[in-house]
Amino acid sequence: MKTYAMSLDLLESPETINEYKEFHKNVWPEVKQGLRDIGIKEMKIFLSGNRLFMFLRTVDSFDLEQNFQTYTESSPRAVEWDNLYERLPAKSSCCVSRGMVVSHGRSI
């Protein structure tokens, strides 16, 4: 199993932070299933101030870029969900994908 950690800074705006929280109160079933279908076993998102931390546990064969591309190509609802998320203002000093700083690691 692989583990990924990602962080993203939303703008320090109560409206932006509240909108993000509202989006994630009721994640669409198609989105959850699509993430499972590409090999995500567990996903947790934490919020501290305006900083988001997302932790993923995936199957060993998971490739972040390739599998997320498969996810968006296979589901119009995934694209719709991502479009909702992408319109939220974010800032980051170091970008990988969609403004997220990504780290892959294994337990020690």
Domain assignments of the chain as residue spans, ordered by start:
2-105
pLDDT surpasses 50 at 96: no
Report pLDDT digits (tens) over 34-93: 999 999 999 999 999 988 888 999 999 999 889 989 998 988 988 888 888 777 766 654
What pTM, to 2 d.p., does this model score?
0.75
Please compute, for residue 24, the number of CA atoms within 13 A of its CA located in the half-sphere on the CB side: 15
pLDDT value for 62: 93
pLDDT value for 97: 44
Distance CA 43, CA 78 (A): 16
pLDDT value for 95: 39
* Residue among 84, 88, 67 nearest 27 (CA): 84
pLDDT surpasses 50 at 5: yes
51-77 in b/e form (b: 16+ CB < 10 A) is ebeeebebeeebebeebbebbeeebee
Report, at the CATH architecture level, how domain 2-105 is classified: 2-Layer Sandwich (3.30)
pLDDT value for 41: 97
